[in-house]
Amino acid sequence: MIKKLDGYVIKTFFGPFLFIFSVLFFIFVVNIIWIRLAQFTGKGLSYWEILKLLSYLSAIVVQFVLPLTILLSAIMTFGDFGERYELAAMKAAGISLTRIMMPLFTVTVLFSIFLFFFSNNIIPDFQRKAKNMLYNIAASRPALNFTPGQFIQQIPGYSVKFDKISGENGENLEGVFIHRMANSFEDQQSIVAEKGKFVPAANPSYLKLILFNGHIFEDNIANLEYQQRLKQPDQAIKFDTLVSHFNISEIINKAIEEERISDDYSFQNYIELNSTIVKTKKENNKILENINSELISQTNGYVTYIDKYKKNSAPVAPPKIDSAKSAKKLEMIYNAYNKIDIAKQATIGKNPQLKDLHAYFSRVVLYQQRIIAYSVTCLIFFLIGASLGSIIRKGGLGLPVVIAIFVFIIFYVLNLSVENLAWAGQMDPYLASWLPNMVLFPFGAWLTYKALADSQVFDIEKYKAFFKPIVQRFSKHKEHQRYR
């Protein structure tokens, strides 16, 4: 009997779980596509390559989708049980709510373990593969996205317009107009052609364009005086076929620099991140020591020579400002003020560097700790969802979804807030990574206690009865209409 009941509870849970996970995963992936749209278009990527790249980039989405799916599914499952009076029937049969929740709690623990291994092993590997793929795309396929009928200045030094673009990779062109962007003292050139075609060049740093049936219009006015430029006749050259090469190395180098693969912490698992944190601490301490030494030397240049004096030699006493003359006293005060102001400006100038150091260290720590923190979030969300579902006793996509989204928004806002505080150096990154769980866990434990005690937390009549004496005390008693 109990085993059948456990199977029924798990089966009821997985119905909404699979549906909600699919919908949320699709929503988050669409968000990634929207952000990364410029990296997909204009590069001749096949559908398989785009799908492969999306699978690599969307792996990290599971960290957010899985906890939210557990929260929504738990609320809907126990809400359905309560709405159909199945929860009351189970309790009437002597089965406690703890025992009813136990099979789904076990499933949630398995999901938490899965999320840990997925975040620790799969996500870093997928992040590395995505970075490699983006690097290869940037190196071999520059981002040249031409729009028909519009002037585009993506090719360095040229303004181009194509009336029509066709072909699988947009290689066939019609109505070609190419104008060299030169100032009034340089040679002017414009090319007009009926048709054109992009073909692979031997040198990947160049874009090869073959033009058919067109004209070249040139004005050779470079290094000529004004009067000579006025006399210079226009030149029009007709061609049947013209091969042009455009240098796009600047675009390729910029794209490669943006996607350059470095020793990124997002490629590492939990244990490897420990070494990165230790290494980052040592590097930061070394930089801070150099900044301190520089500040001390600017404040008092004699400090760096203290160790060079012999122990037996008597130090030279600094001059006393009280015994100095007025002019000398003002000079000493002015010099001291200049030293303080220089040290102050140097310290202010180091603030961006110090913020960058702390922000990078905080990002590494947050990334490492969230590998475990998000797994624990699954358990907390289950406690909140199962308890809320058994209390409100409403199933479907109405009130349970509203409450679940409200809880997730609180979690998400807390997550972003403490993350920004940690990056700014106003909160310890270890505390920041666990603070959302620390805030929501007491709420989940309280809801679980209320659910086990059959407390009507969301009973509006109960709260009306509680506040009724207070409302009556501050409200005026109205006389009956007939006594007026």
209: tokens are: 């364009």
| pLDDT number for residue 254 | 61
Per-residue confidence in pLDDT tens, the chain, 484 aa:
457 888 888 888 888 899 889 988 998 888 887 777 666 665 566 778 778 888 888 888 898 899 989 998 888 888 888 778 888 788 888 888 888 888 899 999 999 999 999 999 999 888 888 877 776 666 555 555 677 878 877 777 788 888 888 876 667 888 888 888 776 667 777 888 988 888 777 776 777 888 898 888 877 666 666 666 666 666 778 888 888 887 776 666 665 555 455 557 888 888 988 988 888 888 888 887 777 777 666 665 555 545 555 555 555 555 565 665 666 667 767 777 777 777 777 777 777 777 888 888 888 899 999 999 999 999 999 999 888 888 877 766 666 677 778 888 888 899 989 888 888 878 888 999 999 999 999 988 888 888 887 766 555 555 556 666 776 666 655 544 554 4
Strand-pair partners of 165: 173
For residue 152, which amino acid is it? I
- Report yes or no: 281 and 189 within 8 Å, Cβ to Cβ: no
Angle 463-467-473 (CA atoms, 0-180°, nearest 5)?
A: 165
For residue 380, which amino acid is it? I
| pLDDT number for residue 437 | 92
| pLDDT number for residue 435 | 92
Three-class secondary structure of residue 166 per DSSP: strand
| pLDDT number for residue 397 | 62
Order of strands, edge to edge, in the sheet holding 206-219? 158-166, 172-180, 188-199, 206-219, 235-247
pTM: predicted TM-score of the whole model, two decimal places: 0.67
| pLDDT number for residue 338 | 76
| pLDDT number for residue 56 | 85
Q: How far apart are the first and last CA of the chain?
A: 69
- Report yes or no: 25 and 58 within 8 Å, Cβ to Cβ: yes
- Report yes or no: 16 and 73 within 8 Å, Cβ to Cβ: yes
| pLDDT number for residue 483 | 46
| pLDDT number for residue 285 | 84
The rounded distance, in Å, linking the Cα atoms of 88 and 95 is 10
Three-class secondary structure of residue 319 per DSSP: coil
For residue 36, which amino acid is it? R
| pLDDT number for residue 381 | 92
The rounded distance, in Å, linking the Cα atoms of 70 and 384 is 10
